[in-house]
């Protein structure tokens, strides 16, 4: 296989406990994520990698392929690495479980980019911010890129800082989906947590501090991650607006 999508699914969450099983318009949150990811055309397989029997049973009930991984993993990347160890695959796409509105085209964009450039170790996507409230929201990660489209930095703070007030202010939101060359996953996993990663609580900074180039592809597709209770209501309203219920 060339490309496998993996949805790392942790049962508990500090900010919103048990969020992946929370009901949204009659389905658990993770089912919305899985159904959208399943529509991607360029992945050869899709797996939910979970740490708890409750998620495993829920995933199996709506027909997902699911594996139960160690509950001791510190992050989703470690859970993914365990999942794909025995799978012969070139590219692994890390699809965030709490992104129920993820557009399948975003997954395909990443899959195509990794296929077209075998030298890439890691890639992700961003979208221009149009909602001004997101600029100062620490739950919305911002990214700045170089002229070739590679990440310079990710931050929970607004970046860049505009010193001159008349300058046009353009910010880009990082969407939490990653593509990795499978072999790179093991290198990444073995790197200790970095200074900036600990400061911002963003594991992609570990790769940047290690000198790894991360391709960041701009997309027009929006998503809506679920971090707090209010996000559940936002997603529910968007699903209704889209006519999916």
Task: Flag whether pLDDT at 167 surpasses 90.
Answer: no
pLDDT computed for residue 114 by the predictor: 97
pLDDT computed for residue 228 by the predictor: 87
Closest by CA to 78, choosing from 92, 65, 90, is 92
> What is this structure's pTM?
0.93
- Burial of residue 201 (CB within 10 Å: 0-12, 13-18, 19+) is exposed
Percent above pLDDT 90 for the chain: 82
Cβ pair 140, 173 in contact under 8 A: yes
Per-residue exposure over 24-58, b if at least 16 CB sit within 10 Å of its own CB, e if not: beebbbbbbbbbbbeebebbeebbbbbbbeebbeb
Report the alpha-carbon angle 129-130-136, nearest 5. Answer: 60
pLDDT computed for residue 139 by the predictor: 86
Please report which helix (H) or strand (E) contains residue 143, including its range. Answer: strand 142-145
The band of 143, judged by pLDDT with boundaries at 50, 70 and 90, is: very high
Cβ pair 113, 215 in contact under 8 A: yes
Cβ pair 206, 188 in contact under 8 A: yes
Identify the structural domains of the chain with CATH numbers, from first to last: 3-241 (3.90.550.10)
Q: Where are the alpha helices (DSSP H) in the chain?
A: 29-38, 53-61, 76-84, 104-116, 182-190, 195-200, 204-209, 229-241
Read off the tokens for 145.
């890129």
């Amino acid at each position: 296989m060339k490309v496998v999508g993996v949805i790392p699914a942790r049962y508990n969450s500090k900010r919103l406990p048990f969020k992946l099983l929370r009901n949204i318009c009659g389905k658990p949150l993770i089912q919305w994520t899985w159904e959208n990811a399943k529509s991607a055309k360029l992945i050869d397989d899709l797996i939910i990698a979970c740490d708890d029997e409750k998620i495993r049973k829920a995933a199996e009930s709506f027909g997902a392929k699911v594996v139960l991984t160690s509950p001791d993993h510190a992050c989703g990347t470690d859970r993914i690495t365990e999942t794909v160890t025995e799978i012969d695959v070139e590219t692994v796409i890390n699809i965030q479980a709490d992104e129920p509105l993820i557009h399948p085209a975003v997954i395909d964009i990443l899959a195509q980019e990794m296929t077209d450039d075998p030298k890439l170790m890691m890639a992700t996507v961003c979208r221009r911010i149009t909602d001004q409230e997101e600029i100062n929201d620490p739950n919305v990660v911002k990214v700045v890129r170089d002229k070739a489209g590679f990440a310079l930095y990710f931050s929970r703070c607004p970046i860049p800082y505009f010193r001159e007030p008349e300058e046009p202010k353009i910010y880009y939101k990082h969407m939490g989906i990653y593509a990795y060359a499978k072999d790179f996953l093991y290198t990444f996993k073995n790197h200790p947590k970095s200074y900036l990663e600990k400061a911002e609580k963003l594991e992609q900074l570990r790769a940047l501090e290690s000198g790894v180039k991360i391709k960041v592809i701009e997309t027009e597709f929006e998503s809506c991650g679920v971090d707090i209770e209010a996000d559940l209501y936002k997603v529910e309203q968007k699903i209704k607006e889209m006519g999916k219920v």
